[in-house]
Amino acid sequence: MFSRSSLVAKSLSRHVAAHQRRFASTKTIKEALGEVIPAKQARLRQFKAEHGQAVLGEVKVEHVIGGMRGLKAMLWESSVLDPMEASLIGIRFHGLTIPDCQKVLPAAPGGKEIIAESMLWLLLTGKVPTEAETRQLSRELAERGELPDYIVQLLDSLPTTLHPMTQLGMAVAALNKESAFAAAYERGIKKSEYWTYALEDSLNLLARLPAIAARIFRNVYAPEKPIASLDKDLDLVGNYVNMLGYGDNQDLTEYLRLYIAIHGDHEGGNASAHTAHLVGSTLSDPYLAYSAALFALAGPLHGLANQEVLRWQLNMQKEIGDNVSHDDIKEFLWRTLKSGQVVPGYGHGVLRNPDPRFIALQQFCETRPELLKDPVIQLVKKTYDVAPAVLKEHGKTKNPYPNVDAASGCVLYHYGLTQFKYYTVIFGVSRALGAITQLVWARALGLPIERPKSLSMDAMESIIKSS
């Protein structure tokens, strides 16, 4: 076993080595970030001084008892949702819609889809990376991507019956043993240096997620199968798909590149992003903060919905058979609703239109005729034809349209990744992009520990009486 300081020193020296090998005259992500942080710090200071007491909205009783839905109470820069904007423009990453990103963000060599690295660069710096910056970040992540031995031992010791998300959260939490942030905090560092250590941990975390996630897959679903080594010339998702054992499937690789990039950040209020932010605000290191986020993601109303969608669609197919009509689907939807269950993959806490990420994944399918012929993908499409009307008639959900999870799993299923209990792990690899962006910026901006005020029913009643 290694001590925390020797592990930190090892990781820092690896990082320096990566710097030395960098593409001539290309900025590293740390340098690019270092350039934009001072201006944003100054802007926030000025904003707080000038408008600290300005009112942004009201707090109603329904916010307090309704999961704070719609309450404006968090600073989150990297992405913004517009509930009403149609289809693909309902989400913007630093102002760029998904189609904008598809136009301007560099893809992998030989690929077409956005990749995690170019999306991370945009989220962190607010700028579109050059091709060389993207490649440099890919290489830096690949250099950082090997798992420490104790993580491999931990993963290999877990029962294969433990849900893959539980395994992922445990391994990510255990990485805190070598946290640069925690070690530096213990030594005593200035607040102004926090972000550099948070970035160091965050990049190591992201870089190692594919190897952790692939080892979980191997242990649970493909025991004894060798795991491919990291290729320093491949992007993060290219390496992930290789390690999963599907590296020869270019279409799956491209699909996962797109899925992981566009699923990475979705404002700050969703349960996983918010959990990472809350836990990080206590100055827990990025590993602990993101591990907590993963356990929020593991709930069926949030990230686990992608496994639930597929289970639900396959049950439908099993019950009704291959020739499913729209009327059959309507009847199945009503049966689900009348039994008190939610229709997985439909509804959203913020969006009030079809999820832009759902549309982007549908478009991916539309460019590939073999996907359109797949019975499960056809079932998803047919369900989309009728579900909004059924949910409207049911009259409960504020958003009767599909969210991203309605489509994500069926494409994986088509490509042979049929182990749907694993799907949320892929979401977990993706969601790190937004969570680590916020963890680094929260430290750069000196955001405080979160501590909203809770109220008892008595307290609310007395506030209402006295007003």
Active-site annotation, residues:
302, 348, 405
Task: Tell me the closest approach of the beta carbon of residue 387 to ligand CMX, in angstroms.
Answer: 8
- Placement of tokens 């060389």 in the chain: 132
Does 65 interact with ligand CMX (rule: CB under 6 A)?
no
CB burial of residue 38 (10 Å; 0-12, 13-18, 19+): exposed
Going by the DSSP 8-state scheme, the letter that residue 402 receives in this structure is B
| 342 makes contact with ligand CMX (CB under 6 A) | yes
Contact 134, 121 (CB under 8 A): yes
For every residue of 75-114, DSSP letters joined together read: ---SEEE-SSS-GGGSEEETTB-HHHHHHHS-B-TT--SB
Distance, CA of 373 to chain centre = 29
CB of 70 to ligand CMX, least distance (A): 9
CB of 367 to ligand CMX, least distance (A): 24
Q: Which of 15, 135, 348, 357 binds ligand CMX (CB under 6 A)?
A: 348
Please say which residue, 287 or 358, places its beta carbon nearer to ligand CMX: 358
Nearer to ligand CMX, 301 or 457 (CB): 301
Close Cβ partners of 378 (under 8 Å, ≥ 6 residues apart)? 372
Which of residues 21, 69, 225, 392 is near ligand CMX by CB under 6 A? 69
Q: Residues 6 or more apart from 84 whose CB is under 8 A from it?
A: 90, 352, 353
How far is residue 407's CA from residue 259's CA, in Å, rounded to a whole number?
10
Query: Measuring CA to CA, how many Å separate 354 from each of 263, 266, 405?
Result: 15, 14, 11
- Of the candidates 121, 217, 312, 346, which one interacts with ligand CMX according to CB under 6 A? 346
User: Given 3-state DSSP classes, what are the helix, strand and coil percentages for the chain, each rounded to the nearest 5?
Assistant: 65, 0, 35
Q: Minimum Å distance from CB 9 to ligand CMX?
A: 39
Residue nearest to ligand CMX (CB): 347
Q: Which range, of 239-247, 346-354, 378-386, 441-449, touches ligand CMX by CB under 6 A? A: 346-354
Q: Which stretch binds ligand CMX (CB under 6 A): 44-52, 146-154, 320-328, 345-353?
A: 345-353
- Contacts from 387-392 at CB under 8 Å and sequence distance 24+? 387/329, 387/333, 387/343, 387/346, 388/346, 390/330, 390/333, 390/334, 390/337, 391/333, 391/337, 391/343, 391/346, 391/347
Number of residues that bind ligand CMX (CB under 6 A): 21
> Among residues 286, 345, 409, 434, which is the contact residue for ligand CMX, using CB under 6 A?
345
Q: Is residue 282 a contact partner of residue 90, using CB atoms and an 8 Å limit?
A: no
Q: Which of 129, 164, 280, 349 binds ligand CMX (CB under 6 A)?
A: 349
Q: Which helix (H) or strand (E) holds 7?
A: helix 4-20
Taking the least distance from each CB to ligand CMX, the nearer of 284 and 399 is 399
Q: Cβ closer to ligand CMX: 12 or 68?
A: 68
Q: What is the DSSP letter of 355?
A: -
356 contacts ligand CMX (rule: CB under 6 A) = no
Taking the least distance from each CB to ligand CMX, the nearer of 204 and 424 is 424
Closer to ligand CMX by Cβ: residue 146 or 267: 267
CB of 274 to ligand CMX, least distance (A): 11
Cβ proximity to ligand CMX: between 245 and 269 the closer is 269
Give the x/- contact pattern for ligand CMX in 382-421, rule: CB under 6 A: --------------xxxx---x-x----------------
Using CB under 6 A as the binding rule, the residues of this chain from 270 to 309 that contact ligand CMX are: 270, 301-303, 305
Q: What is the DSSP string of 427-454?
A: HHHHHHHHHHHHHHHHHHTT-----PPP
**Nearest distance from C-beta of residue 334 to ligand CMX, angstroms:** 11
Q: Rounded to the nearest 5°, which phi and psi values hold at 187? A: -65, -35
Q: End-to-end CA distance of the chain, in Å?
A: 62
Q: Closer CB to ligand CMX, residue 72 or residue 373?
A: 72
Distance CA 178, CA 156 (A): 19
Pairing of strands 79-81, 91-93: antiparallel
Cβ at position 300, least distance to ligand CMX in Å: 7
The span of 9-17, 226-234, 254-262, 336-344 binding ligand CMX (CB under 6 A) equals 336-344
Residues in Cβ contact with 363 at an 8 Å cutoff, skipping those fewer than 6 apart: none
Options 347, 409, 428, 434; binder of ligand CMX; rule CB under 6 A: 347
> Residue 133 or 405: which CB sits closer to ligand CMX?
405
Least distance (Å) between residue 344 CB and ligand CMX:
5
Q: Give the tokens for residue 217.
A: 């897959």
SS3 404: coil
Q: How far is the CB of 414 from ligand CMX (least distance, A)?
A: 20
Chain contacts with ligand CMX (rule: CB under 6 A): 69, 270, 301-303, 305, 337, 342-349, 396-399, 403, 405
